[in-house]
Structure 1
Amino acid sequence: MLFPYLDIILRSVAVYFFMTIALRVFGKKELSQLNTADIILILLISNSVQNAMVGPDTSLSGGLIAALVLFIINFIIKKLTRKYKVFGELLLDKPEVLIHDGKLDFKALSKLDISDEELKEAMREHGIEFFKNVKLAMLEIDGTISIISEDQEKLKQTHYKRKHNHKSLQNFN
């Protein structure tokens, strides 16, 4: 009975990898800064790729198999990226330096399409007023901006991620 669902499995795998590549191409910055238009886009994309995954099979079992395949692929990808560095480097973004010792990296900011206003907003959220007071600002792999203040006394209060995304340390082993 698995053979009738092989088409759904293959379609789901193709859609998963397409979406992974699309997110890689369009940038990690988009992941943490969802606005109304972004949410609408996500909803429309999920609706459009649903048919691509299940094809003509709109049954409950077809939808559940597609969802199961996506969970399994995601689980396997996470295991592989942790176990094999090369695989992780291929699929995962790396943190990017935006400011180092008060000096902005205009090339990185341009490449990542981060505006001056977005960077200033992140600094204000970290309690920092001037670029010269930033020891290090990074665009993290989850799309958040982490900032470390030049002032060591402020370090504890300013070293948190922009959208407060907390990940357990187990994810980094």
Structure 2
Amino acid sequence: MNPYLDIALRSVSVYIFMIIAIRLFGKKELSQLNTADIILILLISNSVQNAMVGSNSSLLGGITAAVALFIINLILKKIMLNSKFIKSLVQDKPEILIHEGKIEFKTLSKLGITDDELKEAMREHGVEFYKDVKLAMFEIDGNISIISGNKNLKQTHHKRKIHKTLGTLNN
């Protein structure tokens, strides 16, 4: 087999494995990276490098692996645009955390979202009490969106800049 075709096939295999692994471990982990998560990502990237390029550590071998990853990513995105079934396999659906002031405890438990994390998201949206939340959603990207019932409050999208264990950024 052509060594560069071998690299492309290995890279695509690793890509598919990583999609499955991220899907199994959950989207919450993507939006809240802590030190251990960053170390894990670095170690995974190092461990799968050899699986993708094998003994070929040439520039062309690395470029072949990168091109294969870009192509498979583009193909997967196009497939997901046209197939709801494939999209549902790769991506989770948004989840309701609070509806009309009522907390969905089962959903919070299933997603591993703590009371403190939910309150933090509410504060960042300018909402103090659960009863004032019209809708709180856990989005597919792992972030929490809050819509309040108060017409005077500006609606925002909660996006953590840095995990709370690493400190906070003040804007």
Q: Which has the higher contact order (CA 8 A, sep 6+)?
A: 2
1:24 aligned residue: 23
2:10 aligned residue: 11
Cα offsets for 1:49-91 (capped at 9, x unmatched): 1111111111111111111100000000001101222221221
RMSD over aligned CA atoms reads 1.4
User: Distance in 1 between the 2:159 and 2:130 partners?
Assistant: 16
2:156 aligned residue: 159
Q: Is the 8 A contact 1:54 1:63 kept in 2?
A: yes
The 5 Å alignment of 1:61-80 reads 61-80=60-79
What is the identity percentage for the equivalent residue pairs of Structure 1 and Structure 2? 66
Q: Which amino acid aligns with 2:96?
A: V
2:149 aligned residue: 150
How far residue 48 of structure 1 moved from its aligned partner, in angstroms, is 1.0
User: Distance in 2 between the 1:118 and 1:161 partners?
Assistant: 11
In the superposition, the TM-score normalised over structure 2's length comes to: 0.88
The 3-state SS of whatever aligns with 2:140 is coil
The 3-state SS of whatever aligns with 2:160 is coil
The 5 Å alignment of 1:105-116 reads 105-116=104-115
User: Distance in 1 between the 2:43 and 2:143 partners?
Assistant: 24
Higher helix share: 1
Q: Which amino acid aligns with 1:163?
A: R
Q: Which amino acid aligns with 1:132?
A: K
Unaligned runs of 5+ residues in structure 1 are 165-173
The 5 Å alignment of 1:31-110 reads 31-110=30-109
Cα offsets for 1:140-162 (capped at 9, x unmatched): 011110000121221xx233233
In the superposition, the TM-score normalised over structure 1's length comes to: 0.88
2:120 aligned residue: 121
Unaligned runs of 5+ residues in structure 2 are 162-171
Q: Is the 8 A contact 1:125 1:162 kept in 2?
A: no
